[in-house]
Each structure stands twice: as C-alpha cells, then as structure tokens.
Amino acid sequence: MVELKTEQSIDEMRAAGRVVAHALAAVREAARVGISLLDLDRVARGVLREAGAASPFLGYRPEFAPVPFPAVICTSVNDAIVHGIPGAYRLRDGDLVSVDCGAGLGGWVGDAAVSFTVGRPRPADLRLIATAEAALAAGIAAAVPGNRIGDIAHAVGTVCRAAGYGIPDGFGGHGVGRHMHEDPGVPNEGPPGRGMKLRPGMVLAIEPMLTAGGTDDYTCDGDGWTLRTADGSRAAHAEHTVAITSDGPRILTAV
C-alpha cells in the first residue's frame, strides 16, 4: 500500500532528508587517501547524533541478509556496487567511492547516495559518476503527477544504456516514508507508460546504479551484503528522496 503524504508530512520528511544531505557532505569532505571506511562511518554517526536522528541502516536485516547491517552508511569502493559494509580498508589514490546514507527524524525517513573519487581521478570514473547523476536527474524530471513509475524507469535506463553502462539486474529505487523501504518499487529500466500512476503525496527514492563494464551481472561477497560487478569493472550509485507534488518534483535530500 502506498501512503500519500500531506504537505506537512513532506516538510517533516525534508528535515530528515536534510540530515542525510549533511551526513553525506561531511563524509565526502572527510574522505581522503589513508582514511578508513570505519572512520567515514564515525563521521556520519556524529552528524546523525548531533541532529538527534536515528539510522534506518543500523541493525537493518532484510530476508536476504545473514546478519543485521552494522553501520549507518554503506561504503562501496571501486567494483562494489551497493551495500558495502564499512571496515578497516583505507582509501587509496584513485578510488571510486559510493556512499549511501539514511536518517530517521520525527517518525520520517530520508535516503540518498553519492559517488565520488579520492585523490587523482580516472577520467573513466568521472564519466561514470556524471552519467549516474544525469540518470538521476532524468528520473527526477519524470517524477511528476500523471506520469507512471515506468516513465521514471525509462528515463533512468535510457541515460545509462546510451552511455554503454550496465544496470544491476533486479535492483532499483523504492517508496520512502515512515520506513526506509515502502511501496512502490522504482526500477532503473523499463518501458514508459507502465506501472503505478504518480500522484501528489507519493515520495520515492530514485537511485540509478551503473556498472562500467556494461554487464548487468553481479556477485555477492561472503558478508551477505556487498554486491560487486561480475566482471570487476567499477560502479557508481546516485540517489535522492523525491516528493511528487502538484508543483513538480521536490528533492528532500538536497543540502
């Protein structure tokens, strides 16, 4: 079931989204050669704590997971696509890092992700990240009343495929509200004009995931969480929580 949020509820979700934006900005600023992924998780924890926000990631355990997620951010480096667990790994020159973060505040949740490079970037990585951001922007632009979920999926997928990138099979965005994952699902590829009609009050997490090698295949690490490209190529992830309004899409996880 999809809960349509009131204008007041969307404003309250914006407060949660702002915490997410600040946490991602702080993590990105702290990310440098030599810092560990655990250190980045501590940075995000500090932002959430200062804001009085909870983490919907910490302790989260969906059916597929062998253990609850142990951190407040996902840190996916190089060939890791999503769901990377922060550990002792220290960032190296040229690493491509994707960070996903959520925050719960006042009974509402915000969810967003950003990808960036550390040290001297590879041109190919910059192109991959820019395409993920362009695909996200295209998906957001399609998030208007009267369109359908398939219009968002088609907008995202068209940008990704035109650039020659892969889209991990079976993964995409989702509804957001009182919980991190709600109906409806938001695929990253599909035919336009299909699926649930978009209505004011719907709030969606739109999140393109791209693989540089062009394959849609992936593997899962032994931790049961971290997804990696099957061919070892690099990946990028971009995400915003977006409200459907009569005035157009409203990004709730912007700074």
CA distance 13 to 244: 13
Task: Give 109-127 pLDDT, tens digit per residue.
Answer: 999 999 999 999 999 999 9
For range 89-98, the mean pLDDT: 98
CA distance 106 to 26: 22
Which residues face 122 on adjacent strands? Answer: none
CA distance 252 to 185: 18
CA distance 205 to 242: 6
- In percent, the amount of the chain with pLDDT more than 90 equals 99
Task: Give 215-255 pLDDT, tens digit per residue.
Answer: 999 999 999 999 999 999 999 999 999 999 999 999 999 99
Q: Residue 43 has what pLDDT?
A: 98
Q: Residue 84 has what pLDDT?
A: 98
Q: Where are the beta strands (DSSP E) in the chain?
A: 73-77, 80-82, 96-105, 108-117, 172-175, 182-187, 203-206, 209-211, 218-220, 227-229, 235-237, 240-243, 250-251
Q: Residue 159 has what pLDDT?
A: 98
Sheet of strand 96-105: strand arrangement = 73-77, 96-105, 108-117
Task: Give 94-107 pLDDT, tens digit per residue.
Answer: 999 999 999 999 99
Q: Residue 102 has what pLDDT?
A: 98
Can you list the alpha helix ranges (DSSP code H) found in 75-183? 123-141, 149-162
Q: Residue 1 has what pLDDT?
A: 86
Close Cβ partners of 195 (under 8 Å, ≥ 6 residues apart): 148, 149, 150, 153, 184
For range 204-225, the mean pLDDT: 97
Locate 222 and state its tokens: 């032994």
Q: Residue 242 has what pLDDT?
A: 98
Burial class (CB in 10 A: 0-12, 13-18, 19+), 239: buried
AA identity, residue 227: L
Q: Residue 140 has what pLDDT?
A: 98
Coil, strand or helix at 3: coil
CA distance 62 to 79: 23
For range 51-78, the mean pLDDT: 97
